[in-house]
Chain A
Amino acid sequence: MVSTPTDQSAPGPSLELHGIRKKFGESTVLDGVDLDIDCGQFVTLLGPSGCGKTTLLRIIAGLELPDAGRVVLGGRDITRTPAAQRQVNTVFQSYALFPHLSVRENVAFGLRSRGVDGAEVRRRVDAALELVQISTLAERRPETLSGGQKQRAALARAVVNEPAVLLLDEPMSALDAKLRTKLQSELRALHRRLGATFVLVTHDQDEAMSVSDRVIVMNGGRIEQEGPPREVYDRPRSRFVADFVGAANVLAVTGREGNMLRTVAGVIDVGEVDGTATHVSVRPEDVRLHRCDSRVLDDNSSLGIVEDVIFRGDCAEVFVGPMSLRARLSPAEAPLIGDRVRIEFVNNRARVLHG
């Protein structure tokens, strides 16, 4: 039977990573990663290709050995424990469903490996199939399934074993956008239902934001920033995070006047400022454009010319030159190409960056 939602008073195993280092040949893939994940959290490792997130996931799974560091699950050091003995299961990027077994047999695989008896296997497999809504596909072979169905089957195969930690390696990268959105919300619901710890790896920041309790942004083998999705989005601490999580206009600081920073796109009020600010990050949705014909303005505003407008259905992206500014407006407010516009920033939404 699948577990009931987390009982807050019974602490489950928490996952800790201490000082994980890994080199493949000459290149350092993980450069001292420390991470604490509480039981029952949904954590996403977010980053570009090559940042080490998949390697970190595989180290947690037991499919890679770190060169240095420890993996601790529920207080037990499992760094050298074989994958087959860890209470950790993986949903692979390519699903890796055994092609010679039916969906039911696939899902039952882990239970049979551990010698669970027949009736119990049947009960738990049925429950898992029900949970991911593929009960009707139980006797089918993997090659007859669609991408979304395979993903659910892979998910069922993993969760039926009630692992302490469920690992998902870019599980939705092969699916189309609509299916992805649907499955993301189902994944979230599944997590709430099971209460296990989920660790997801993805390079898609939309995905990271929509499913996780915590986003961990990685770059070059290190953790750049981590926190709840809202925090990482609203308060990026570095240029990389600002640029990777959501779109950002990163403007160089050219001068300072009290609490205002002067940039090529105008003057921005950022509240408290310290002397080391080098850049300011402004989200496109925090930029306002006003059609303006006069050539002279007050000192704090800037003028620009609309270079391109891209209509994206629910919004319009406007590119303003010569400062390469990106603004997101509702389609009704969008100016035309060639219009002269005055740039305005919504106060207190800009973030100061230090490189």
Chain B
Amino acid sequence: MAEPVVWQGRITTRPKLLAGAAVLCAPALIWLAVLVVLPGMALAVLCLLTRSPQGQVEATLTSEHLRRALGVTEAGFAWDNLRILGRTLLAAAVTSFAAIALAFLTALWIASRPARWRGTLLAMIAVPLCTNIVVRSYAWMLLLGPTSIAARVAAFVGWIEPGTSLYPSVFAVYLGMIAASLPFAVLTIYSSVERLDWTLVDAAKDLYGSRTRVFLHGLVAQAGPGLAAAFVLTFVPALGMFVIPDLLGGAKHWMVGNLVQQQFGTSRNWPYGAALSLILLVLTVPGVLFLTRRRSREGESGGGTPRTTFGTGAAAVLSAVVLYLPLSAVVVASFFSTRSGLSLGAPTLAWYQLLFRDERLWEFVGNTLRLAGVSTAISTVLGTMLAISLERFPWAPKLRTAADAALQIPVVMPDVLFAIGVVIALGFLRRFSELFEPGMFSMILGHVSFQVAFVTLVVRARLASVGAKYQEAAFDLYSSAWSLLWRVTLPLLAPGILGGALLAFTLSLDDFVISFMTSSPASTTLPVHIYASVRRGLSPELHALSAVLLAATVLLVLAAQRLSRRATIGP
């Protein structure tokens, strides 16, 4: 008979507690193990296997793919891949640095606004973040196209030939990447800027003369760790970007993400793709380790009144332009009749009418919503169960920190690596059942594995802030374990669960990479359709569709903001 222990108001035994925890966390963990962890480990094996001429994987060992990935051939050193690698690292580093600098100043500006504006300002940052990457990228194509103002100015100045566009080019790729990284960077940095101690800035002003030194010693010194973390959170995903280089850079500016995606797509060379993925994975490891080692310093808010010098206002304006100019261009273009050419043409709703009559489009909308709905439902249940098992059971400290670290990985990892894992897992499972062919079912599997970590993080944060004291109070008042769950835990968790579900829903609606690599023609979603359309050529119907999506995103973000305001029934 096991030794009785008391845990959060309940007398039970350790084995019973662990059994309860295991039941709660098993579904999510099994899901993640099969679709994320095992495939990740399989990469190491896969890269050593052979590719048959038909594109199948054969069980013969060879180091050919690894060597090719690293540029080692019989004819000597091949620089192509290494050049792509170097280009990727440079692009990720430069754009992350630029994005962080701009984001820091913008976050400072937002933090120094009156409190009632901040929610709205942050929501405005969140809208582009919740818009899918394809729309955000091709919007730049519109802005930099041959007939755009930017291109005409550049031609006038002599940068480019008249009539040509500013893309594909390194400039366009960098611009696109900065714009893509900016929203997440702002939100991440904002959470540490919120807690800054502004009295230290006052002290610095008191001690130093120049504004530069005040900025450096008063602000940057404090925000340093937060900035470093934000840099990693921007740099690592940037390494894996492939939509932006594809649309804005073309074949001459390929990055590692494009190479990897090609091997698992049209080229059907999985072992080579695995070798490339391994390299990409290795590049991301230092960043992930850095993040998971960091102890987040909770609580301690600083004091003092935020100041707005140091050019933060200008930075905020620049951010607004970078984030909204392309999107605005798309929305504006959707209301005018021109297809191409120098002038906009007459205002018209024709494109919207076309849109609403396009039956195929409605099918895609249906697919997107169905996918988002089902995957959100599953991931919310799994994620909530996982979060409860992590917070409400006495894990050994080491196990808990490992779990914390593991949960942060999907947030950081480049999308393309995640998608590869899912593709490999599905490829393996396909041998056992046709269910795992590309299609809606596979897409759901892929989306859930991505969403679970996010839901768990959100619910866990809510659980932690609610604390275990209500549990003790409930047991003191004769509650049973079941009654505790229904009458206390779930009601208190509700805002967190809803927030997690909303986040998961948005992630699914937006997702391009996983959907792209696991979809079939019958299960095309809107982002995948938009990408295919963009490759065929920009059209105003596309702009109309994007404008509608944008409007839907704005509504969603506003709804989420209202919800989070009501959810302040804190302990």
Residue ranges of A at the interface with B (Cβ–Cβ < 8 Å): 61-65, 80-85, 88-90, 92, 94, 96, 98-100, 109-110, 113-114, 141, 143, 157, 161
Contacts and interface: CB of A to CB of B under 8 A. Distances in A.
Nearest to A95: B473
26 contacts: A62-B9, A62-B11, A62-B475, A62-B476, A63-B472, A63-B475, A80-B4, A80-B11, A81-B11, A82-B475, A84-B479, A84-B480, A88-B476, A90-B476, A92-B469, A96-B472, A98-B470, A98-B473, A99-B492, A109-B474, A113-B474, A113-B477, A113-B478, A113-B480, A114-B478, A161-B478
A164 to B, nearest CB: 13
Contact of A113 (B10, B470, B483, B491): B483
A141 B477 contact: no
A143 B4 contact: no
Contact of B477 (A64, A81, A82, A109): A109
Contacts of B479: 84, 109, 113
Contacts of A113: 474, 477-480, 483
B477 A63 contact: no
B396 interface: no
A94 B469 CA distance: 9
B19 interface: no
B473 A100 contact: no
Interface in B520-571: 569-571
Interface in B290-346: none
A100 B492 contact: yes
Contacts of A141: 569
A113 B486 CA distance: 12
B353 to A, nearest CB: 48
A84 B475 contact: yes
Interface string B444-487: 00000000000000000000000001101111111110010001
B478 A110 contact: yes
Given A80-B4, A92-B469, A98 B488 contact: yes
B6 interface: yes
A157 B477 contact: yes
Contact of B6 (A64, A96, A98, A99): A64
Contacts of B10: 82-84
A79 to B, nearest CB: 10
Interface string B474-509: 111111100100011001100000000000000000
Contacts of B469: 92, 94, 96
A161 B477 contact: yes
Contacts of A88: 476
Contacts of A99: 492, 569-571
Interface residues of B, number: 25
A83 B475 contact: yes
B403 interface: no
A89 B4 CA distance: 22
Contacts of A62: 6, 9, 11, 475-476
B559 to A, nearest CB: 21
B5 interface: yes
Contacts of B491: 100
B117 to A, nearest CB: 25
Contacts of B4: 65, 80
B292 to A, nearest CB: 27
A92 B569 contact: no
List the 6 closest A-B pairs by CB distance, nearest first. A110-B477, A96-B473, A113-B478, A82-B11, A83-B475, A113-B479
A60 to B, nearest CB: 11
Nearest to B8: A63
A63 B476 contact: yes
B11 A83 contact: yes
A63 B479 CA distance: 13
Which residue of A61, A92, A109, A161 has the most chain B CB atoms within 10 A of its CB atom? A109
Contacts of B488: 98
Given A100-B492, A113-B479, A161-B477, A83 B569 contact: no
B476 A83 contact: yes
Task: Name the residue in A84, A85, A143 with the highest tally of chain B Cβ atoms < 10 Å from its Cβ.
Answer: A84
Which of B472, B478, B479, B480 has the most A CB atoms < 10 Å from its CB?
B478
A68 to B, nearest CB: 13
A289 B182 CA distance: 76
Given A83-B9, A100-B491, A143 B569 contact: yes
A85 to B, nearest CB: 8
Nearest to B491: A100
A296 to B, nearest CB: 59
Interface in B11-53: 11
B200 to A, nearest CB: 30
B254 to A, nearest CB: 53
Nearest to A64: B6
Contacts of B571: 99
Contacts of A100: 491-492, 569
Contacts of B477: 84, 89, 109-110, 113, 157, 161
A63 B9 contact: yes
Contacts of A81: 11
Contacts of A110: 477-478
Contacts of B475: 62-63, 82-84
A88 B472 CA distance: 13
Chain B CB count within 10 A is highest, among A80, A82, A94, for A82
A99 B469 CA distance: 12
